[in-house]
């Protein structure tokens, strides 16, 4: 079903639903610690290239969902924690991917709303929060409970039967592991080392299909493993949150929760990076440490979304738009938060990060040129005819020209995925380190 | 946006008013506040001193600096007033210092938002609606003004690409398709056929009917296309090819030549013709020009290469402003060689160059005249070289000529908002006169249209003519500012009265009027006419754009450009009916009168274009009156006042001052037509 009117209608609904996001972001400016800075951050979120790529070109309603998430965060900032909890419950019922963030909400609301600062349980608060959240869920699932559809819904919502990686590897830890497996396989087959090779893994590993990923050399990963690793990383952040349940600490823990799920989750889609980037943006102007983490994660995250848009015309738009966006975020904010690196190790890290960021234009160039190169090489094998004055060659069949080898087709995606995964994993470590040493990274948000 | 309003709207560099208000005392008191600020006066631009934009994080002193600088700026009032500067009170300075020392650890906030700000006078609040102005000011205030230019260029590229995502002229309408297919077809035939057959091959299917430079450009594009994918430009087999790849390729060729010719031309225009204006207003002018909706819609939506032709003409104008008349003439020949539509400008350019020769006196002027004649004919010869002996028989030159000037077609094509089509509603010209008579009539009317301004410039040149032995004064000639008006009246009279006009040719009159507009103050007459003409021009192309399926782009670009300029059509009662009508055009026409909307469109647009034409002549006449009193009595009084602070340029002997209307600035070369 595809017609112009339907497309126009669907796209219009996306734009209209995004008004929620705009309204919430405007509310964020009011009452912010530093409104001009918050204005930049709000504008950057509203015009986020992630939303442009995922919502307006790819088609989803993320702007609307993140509007609700930000509304919930805003309520937390303003001290209205009950409303924050209810809004998050509503959000969970719109899209269950926000489960990634649920642990941070749970700990934060439990500690700061249901317990008094001295550690005493506040029964009234606890009951009101629990009842309202349960009410939201009953409203949402009620009709399906009555019809007995719950098992069907759950199996649709949590598809553990799919593989470890998504078709295009989302740039997380598993992408790195899979790439390492590929490299090891190459190395072993070349040197002939005496290592057991899983023969089904040789042909597996993402030929662009949604299916099981089987490693050739490394031990295989089961859903339980990914779950355990995620929980371990999340609990580090959550313990810290329990002991300092402030707004800024909550924001950081929220980001880290989403981040851990993204990096170590089972069958993560690359779109989930928005779950990390949106709360992280709110922290961007805190200190240079936060800002640099934000820039690294944003550049790598947005770049990792590029393969979602593959038609050449739209590709140019997405690249230029993202470049514009990063300029408008980076240039005004960096002047505000810049700090000189204080020790040698910081200087080295700073330089390495800059080199990493400078690699992205190069990567884009490679990703653009590789398919052209591949198609031209395929063409070179075709017969060549000499052109005379008034005579033209018979044109080659377009079908044969437009069929580069599948290895060449997958290589740009793999490169993108691995390069972005390095940056995202490093940004995660950075943020975790900054969070655990939060007292040395005080910023304006600490005043809330 | 309270923190944006702290600065005065924008101050022209070298403005005599501004110079008067900078008092030495206030500078010294500022310097004593913080040594870091003392570095700033060495910057090349004056307004930077006024703007509270320290380059480096200044630590705790920064807010104090902003505070005092803001007070200082606010005490100046609006730039047009000349109130004396009030000294900064030392007690307040100390108070703010104490306040600042509280949070040293946290980064400094971006603006001193706690400072109470005076409410703006009404006129400045009006200007807050101009998005471009606000944005440029914001960038300057954040100290990131070096990014204004690259981001503006990137943003315009992004908009152009986004417009290009839409459909083009004649998409999926076999067998003839549209302008897109014509351009693609020329690439195809130019790379596969010898020169001699370019203008003769299968004329029924989009035969080449533009001058040779278009053909050469098509040939280059065709080579590139053939290299990437030969099936895009296969002779005869590729007719009507509509693959994704070929569309992207075609769109990117437009973008490429636009970036190669038009965008640099616009950039140099703001840097030469507006040389004495501040960087800020130059960038503002560039933004206005870059996002001009009519050209974006026709070039990147409908699909044509008009920006190349306009860009060459603009380069010619820039060369004239540099007093490089020969180079300018060559550029104009290139423009003519790209599209014969540039002939609309020819009376103005020719008139200007003739006036220049006249002005220089018999010896120098005669020399220049001979040089111009030689270079012009030589460049034409080079352009047409492949169609001339010894490369081709002499008769071959007739092929391009007959293709370029098709008098065999009718008086007007489609519905075009010019005099003939509008009057045709009541008065059927074809029944009344033969084609021969009509051609003569249209030629006479056109000449009547462009002659006044040309004659005025000749008269000014005659009056200010240099005597023998008199040294050439520095700066541009007195009649150079007349050139945009000449271009406007000449191209508009061609559009209104000439033979075989297409609705897209409104782009030609739009170029000079947008150039004038880019320099104008928000409440000046020029601004009003410029925006009106642009909006009506886009509106007059609505039937064409609707056929191309560019409705969304039409609305989006109009809104964007008007927002950028701070022009709100809905607030003007005179225009609101046009807005309503454009909405009404979305409704399908009644079956009995299928042409009712296009005809209404023509009837609305034509009077506006006619008024713009009359207005341009009026401006020329006014300018000549003003010059009468100046030019005869004292040879060049205006120039000295312009170039007071102009440092001698190293590359060129003269650096032209701002040319054109500077309404509200009170320092135009000649009195403006504001009242």
Contact predicate A13/A55, CB 8 Å:
no
Angle (nearest 5°) at CA B314 between B464 and B670: 35
* Widest CA span in chain A: 93
Distance CA B452, CA B482 (A): 12
- What per-residue confidence (pLDDT) applies to A441? 82
Cα-based distances in Å from B571 to A391, B175, B222, B568, B577 = 63, 45, 48, 6, 11
Q: Give the rounded percent of residues in chain B with a pLDDT score beyond 90.
A: 23
CA dist B172 and B180 (Å) reads: 11
Number of residues that this document lists for chain A: 448
Question: Mutate which of B161, B201, B236, B290 to disrupt the A interface (most A C-beta within 10 Å)?
Answer: B161
CB contact under 8 A, B165 and A337: no
Confidence of residue A215 (pLDDT cuts 50, 70, 90): confident
Q: Is a pLDDT exceeding 70 seen at residue B633? A: no
Q: What b/e string do you get for B419-456 counting C-beta neighbours within 10 Å, with b at 16 or more?
A: bbbbebeeeebeeeeeeeebbebbeeebeebbbbbbeb
Which residues make Cβ contacts (< 8 Å) with residue B394, sequence separation at least 6? B388
Mean predicted confidence (pLDDT) in B530-536: 87
Paired tokens of A390: 């008034």
Q: What confidence score (pLDDT) does residue A26 get?
A: 92
Where does residue A207 fall: left (phi above 0), alpha (psi -120 to 50 degrees), or beta otherwise?
A: alpha
d(CA A247, CA B640): 64
Average confidence (pLDDT) over A8-16: 84
Residues A409-427 have pLDDT tens digits of: 678 888 899 999 999 999 9
Query: Cβ separation of A34 and B247 shorter than 8 Å?
Result: no
What whole-number distance in Å separates Cα of residue A392 and Cα of residue B656? 53
Residue contact B144–A442, C-beta within 8 A: no
Per-residue pLDDT, averaged over B595-602, amounts to 76
Query: Of the candidates B57, B143, B229, which has its C-beta nearest A401's C-beta?
Result: B229
Find residues 134-173 of chain B whose CB sits inside 8 Å of chain A.
142-144, 147, 150-151, 154-155, 157-158, 161-162, 164-165
How high is the pLDDT of residue A444?
82
Reduced to 3 states (helix: H, G, I; strand: E, B; else coil), residue A115 is strand
Q: Each residue of A101-137: pLDDT tens digit?
A: 999 999 999 988 888 888 788 888 889 999 999 999 8
Complex confidence, ipTM? 0.82
Cβ <8 Å between A313 and B248: yes
Band of residue B543 on the pLDDT scale cut at 50, 70, 90: confident
Query: Which of A43, A57, A320 is the mutation pick for testing B, counting most B CBs within 10 A?
Result: A320
Q: Mind listing the pLDDT tens digit for each residue in A83-103?
A: 999 999 999 988 888 888 999
Tokens coding B241: 């090819």
- Going by the DSSP 8-state scheme, the letter that residue B130 receives in this structure is -
Query: Do A416 and B80 contact (CB within 8 A), yes or no?
Result: no
Range of B353-357, B430-434, B671-675 with top mean pLDDT: B353-357
Report the range of poorest mean pLDDT among A143-157, B143-157, B565-579: B565-579
pLDDT value at B199 more than 50: yes
Please check whether residue B237 touches A, CB under 8 A.
Answer: yes
- pLDDT for the residue B309: 94
Angstrom distances, CA of residue B604 to CA of A290, B422, B506, B608: 57, 9, 15, 7
Give me the residue from B105, B110, B142 closest to A34, CB to CB. B110
CA closest to B150 among chain A residues: A324
Q: Does B245 touch chain A (CB under 8 A)?
A: yes
pLDDT of B658 above 90: no
pLDDT of B176 strictly over 60: yes
DSSP symbol at B260: I
Write out chain A residues lying below 8 Å of B228, CB-based: 372
Asked if B131 reaches chain A (Cβ–Cβ under 8 Å), the answer is no
Distances in Å between the Cα of B438 and the Cα atoms of B141, B398, B408, B442, B613 are 59, 24, 12, 6, 21
Q: Which DSSP string corresponds to A297-351?
A: HHHHHHHHHGGG--SHHHHHHHHHHHHHHHHHHHHHHHHHH-----SHHHHHHHH
Pick from A315-324, A409-418, B298-307, B573-582: least confident: B573-582
| Per-residue model confidence (pLDDT) at position B295 | 94
pLDDT at B28: 39
Peptide bond into B390 cis (omega under 30): yes
Contact B164, B301 (CB under 8 A): yes
Residue A100 belongs to some domain of the structure: yes
Q: What pLDDT band is residue A351 in, cutting at 50, 70 and 90?
A: very high
Query: What total number of domains does chain A contain?
Result: 1
Query: 0.80 cut: is pTM over it?
Result: no
Domain span at residue A340?
Answer: 4-161+222-364+406-447
Distances (CA, A) of A326 to A166, A297, A331, B132, B145: 27, 12, 8, 20, 16
Distance between CA atoms of residues B332 and B217, nearest Å: 17
Is A338 inside any structural domain? yes
d(CA B9, CA B18): 13
Distance in angstroms (rounded) separating the CA atoms of residues A443 and A434 = 12
- Over residues A164-182, the mean pLDDT reads 81
More confidently predicted of B107 and A165: A165
pLDDT, residue A446, reads: 80
The per-residue pLDDT for B589 is 54
In a domain, residue A394? The reply is no
Q: Would you call B248 an interface residue with chain A, using a CB distance cutoff of 8 Å?
A: yes
A203 domain-assigned: no
The verdict on B559 touching A (C-beta cutoff 8 Å) is no
Rounded to an integer, the average pLDDT of B473-483 is: 77
Residues of chain A positioned with their CB less than 8 A from the CB of B247: 313
Tokens describing residue B39? 């570095």
CA–CA separation, B524 and B602 (whole Å): 27
Q: Does the beta carbon of B61 lie under 8 angstroms from any beta carbon of chain A? A: no
Q: How far apart are CA B440 and CA A64, in angstroms?
A: 64
| Strand, coil or helix: B599 | helix
Whether A171 maps to a domain, the answer reads: no
Cα separation, B76 vs A159, in Å, equals 68
Which whole number is the average pLDDT over B508-525?
88
Tell whether the model's pLDDT for residue A429 goes beyond 70: yes
Among candidates B109, B151, B157 on the partner chain, residue whose Cβ is nearest the Cβ of A327 = B151
**Cα separations in angstroms, B662 against B350, B452, B486:** 26, 23, 18
Reported as type and span, the H/E element at residue B167 is none
CB–CB contact B235 A390 (8 Å)? no
- Is the pLDDT at B306 greater than 80? The verdict is yes
Determine the pLDDT at residue B525.
83
Q: Which of B534, B530, B536, B507 is nearest to B517 (CA)?
A: B530
Q: Does the structure show a pLDDT above 90 at A390?
A: no
In 3D space, the residue among B535, B544, B528 whose CA is nearest the CA of residue B510 turns out to be: B535
Mean pLDDT of chain B: 73
pLDDT for position B471: 72
CA A145 – CA A140 distance, rounded (Å): 10
C-alpha B491/C-alpha B497 separation (Å) is 10
Task: Kindly calculate the radius of gyration of chain B based on its CA atoms and give it in whole angstroms.
Answer: 27
Q: Is the pLDDT of residue B25 over 60?
A: no
Q: What is the mean pLDDT of residues B175-180?
A: 83
Is A282 a member of any domain? yes
Q: Residue A108 and residue B101: Cα distance in Å, rounded?
A: 34
Phi, psi of B414 (to 5 degrees): 55, -150
Q: List, in order, residues 6 or more apart from A397 with CB less than 8 Å away.
A: none
d(CA B187, CA B184): 5
Radius of gyration of chain A (CA): 24
- Determine the pLDDT at residue A199: 64
* The pLDDT value given to residue A302: 94
Residue A166 within any structural domain of the chain: no
- The pLDDT, as a whole number, for residue B294 is 93
CA quadruple B13, B17, B22, B24: dihedral sign: positive
**Helix, coil or strand: residue B151:** helix
| Residues of chain B with C-beta less than 8 angstroms from the C-beta of A393 | 230
At residue B528, the pLDDT reads: 82
Cα–Cα distance, B280 to B520 (Å, whole number): 14
Query: Could you tell me which residues are beta bridge partners of residue A121?
Result: A115
Q: What angle do CA B533, B534, B538 make, to 5 degrees?
A: 115
- Residue A371 counted as domain residue: no
């Amino acid at each position: 079903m595809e017609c112009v009117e339907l497309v126009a209608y669907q796209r219009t609904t996306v734009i209209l639903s995004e008004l929620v996001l705009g309204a919430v972001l405007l509310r964020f400016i009011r009452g912010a610690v530093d409104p001009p800075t918050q204005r930049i951050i709000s504008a950057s979120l509203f015009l986020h290239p992630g939303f442009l790529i995922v919502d307006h070109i790819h088609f989803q309603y993320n702007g609307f969902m993140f509007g609700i998430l930000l509304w919930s965060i805003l309520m937390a900032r303003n001290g209205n924690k009950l409303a924050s909890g209810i809004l998050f419950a509503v959000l969970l019922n719109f899209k269950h991917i926000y489960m990634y963030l649920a642990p941070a909400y749970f700990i934060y609301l439990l500690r700061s709303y249901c317990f008094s600062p001295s550690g005493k349980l506040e029964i009234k608060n606890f009951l009101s929060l629990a009842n309202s959240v349960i009410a939201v869920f009953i409203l949402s699932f009620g009709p399906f409970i009555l019809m007995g559809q719950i098992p069907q819904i759950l199996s649709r919502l949590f598809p553990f039967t799919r593989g470890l990686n998504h078709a295009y590897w989302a740039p997380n830890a598993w992408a790195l592991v899979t790439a390492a497996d590929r490299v090891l396989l190459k190395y072993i087959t070349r040197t002939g080392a005496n290592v057991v090779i899983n023969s089904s893994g040789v042909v597996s590993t993402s030929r662009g299909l949604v299916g099981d990923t089987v490693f050739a050399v490394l031990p295989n990963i089961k859903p339980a493993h990914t779950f355990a690793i995620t929980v371990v990383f999340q609990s580090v952040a959550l313990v810290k949150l329990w002991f300092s349940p402030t707004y800024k600490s909550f924001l950081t823990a929220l980001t880290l929760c989403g981040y851990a799920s993204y990096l170590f989750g089972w069958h993560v889609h690359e779109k989930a990076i928005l779950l990390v980037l949106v709360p992280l943006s709110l922290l961007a102007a805190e200190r240079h440490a936060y800002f640099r983490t934000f820039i690294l994660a944003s550049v790598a995250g947005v770049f990792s979304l590029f393969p979602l848009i593959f038609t050449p015309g739209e590709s140019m738009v997405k690249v230029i738009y993202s470049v514009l966006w990063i300029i408008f975020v980076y240039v005004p904010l960096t002047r505000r938060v810049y700090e000189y690196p204080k020790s040698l190790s910081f200087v080295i890290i700073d330089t390495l990060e800059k080199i990493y960021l400078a690699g992205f234009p190069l990567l884009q160039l490679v990703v653009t040129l590789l398919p052209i190169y591949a198609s031209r090489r395929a063409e070179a094998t075709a017969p060549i005819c000499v052109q005379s004055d008034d005579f033209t060659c018979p044109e080659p069949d377009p079908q044969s020209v437009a069929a580069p080898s599948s290895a060449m087709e997958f290589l740009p995606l793999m490169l993108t995925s691995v390069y972005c995964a390095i940056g995202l994993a490093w940004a995660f470590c950075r943020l975790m380190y900054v969070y655990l040493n939060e007292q040395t990274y005080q910023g304006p948000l600490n005043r809330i | 946006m309270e923190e944006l309003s702290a600065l005065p709207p924008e101050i022209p560099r070298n403005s005599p008013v501004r110079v008067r208000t900078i008092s030495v005392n206030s500078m010294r008191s500022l310097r004593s506040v913080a040594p870091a600020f003392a570095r700033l006066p060495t910057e090349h631009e004056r307004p930077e001193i006024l703007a509270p934009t320290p380059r480096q994080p200044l630590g705790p002193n920064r807010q104090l600096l902003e505070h005092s600088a803001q007070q200082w700026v606010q005490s100046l009032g609006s730039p047009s007033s000349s109130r004396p500067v009030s000294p900064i009170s030392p007690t307040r300075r100390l108070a703010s210092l104490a306040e600042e020392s509280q949070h040293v650890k946290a980064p400094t906030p971006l603006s001193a938002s706690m400072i109470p700000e005076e409410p703006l006078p009404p006129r400045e609040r009006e200007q807050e609606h101009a998005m471009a102005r606000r944005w440029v000011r914001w960038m300057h205030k954040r100290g990131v003004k070096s990014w204004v230019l690259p981001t503006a260029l990137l943003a315009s590229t992004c908009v152009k690409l986004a417009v290009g995502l839409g459909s083009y002229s004649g998409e999926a309408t076999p067998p003839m398709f549209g302008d897109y297919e014509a351009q693609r077809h020329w690439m195809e035939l130019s790379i596969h056929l010898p020169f001699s057959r370019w203008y003769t091959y299968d004329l029924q299917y989009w035969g080449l009917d533009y001058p040779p430079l278009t053909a050469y450009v098509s040939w280059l594009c065709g080579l590139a296309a053939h290299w990437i994918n030969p099936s895009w430009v296969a002779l005869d087999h590729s007719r009507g090819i509509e693959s994704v790849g070929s569309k992207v390729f075609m769109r990117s060729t437009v973008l490429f030549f636009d970036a190669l010719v038009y965008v640099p031309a616009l950039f140099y225009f703001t840097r030469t013709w507006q040389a004495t204006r501040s960087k800020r207003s130059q960038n503002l002018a560039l933004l206005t020009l870059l996002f001009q909706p009519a050209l974006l819609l026709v070039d990147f939506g409908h699909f044509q290469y008009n920006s190349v032709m306009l860009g060459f003409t603009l380069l010619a104008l820039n060369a004239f402003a540099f007093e490089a008349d020969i180079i300018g003439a060559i550029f104009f020949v290139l423009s003519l060689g790209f599209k014969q539509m540039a002939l609309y400008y020819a009376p103005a350019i020719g008139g200007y160059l003739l006036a220049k020769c006249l002005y220089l006196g018999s010896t120098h002027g005669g020399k220049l005249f001979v040089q111009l004649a030689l270079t012009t004919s030589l460049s034409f010869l080079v352009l047409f070289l492949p169609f001339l002996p010894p490369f081709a028989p002499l008769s071959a030159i007739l092929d391009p000529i007959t293709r370029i000037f098709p008098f065999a077609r009718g008086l007007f094509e489609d519905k075009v908002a010019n005099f003939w089509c509008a009057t045709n509603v009541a008065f059927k010209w074809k029944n009344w006169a033969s084609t021969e008579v009509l051609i003569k009539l249209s030629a006479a009317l056109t000449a009547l249209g462009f002659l006044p301004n040309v004659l005025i410039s000749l008269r000014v040149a005659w009056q200010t003519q240099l005597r023998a032995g008199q040294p050439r004064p520095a700066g541009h000639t007195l009649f150079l500012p007349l050139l945009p008006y000449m271009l406007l009246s000449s191209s508009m009279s061609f559009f209104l009265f000439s033979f075989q006009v297409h609705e897209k040719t409104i782009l030609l009159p739009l170029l000079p009027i947008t150039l004038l507009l880019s320099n104008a103050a928000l409440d000046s007459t020029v601004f009003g006419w410029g925006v009106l003409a642009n909006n009506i021009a886009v509106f007059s192309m609505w039937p064409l754009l609707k056929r191309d399926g560019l409705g969304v782009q039409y609305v989006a670009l109009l809104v964007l450009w008007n927002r950028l300029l701070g022009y709100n059509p809905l607030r003007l009662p005179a225009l609101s009916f046009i807005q309503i009508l454009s909405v009404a055009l979305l409704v399908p026409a009644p079956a009995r009168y299928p042409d009712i909307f296009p005809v209404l469109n023509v009837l609305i647009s034509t009077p506006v274009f006619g008024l713009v034409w009359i207005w341009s002549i009026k401006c020329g006449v006014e300018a000549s009156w003003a010059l009468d009193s100046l030019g005869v009595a004292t040879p060049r009084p205006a120039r000295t006042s312009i170039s007071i602070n102009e440092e001698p340029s190293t590359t060129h002997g003269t650096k032209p001052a701002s040319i054109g209307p500077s309404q509200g600035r009170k320092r135009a070369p000649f009195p403006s037509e504001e009242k």
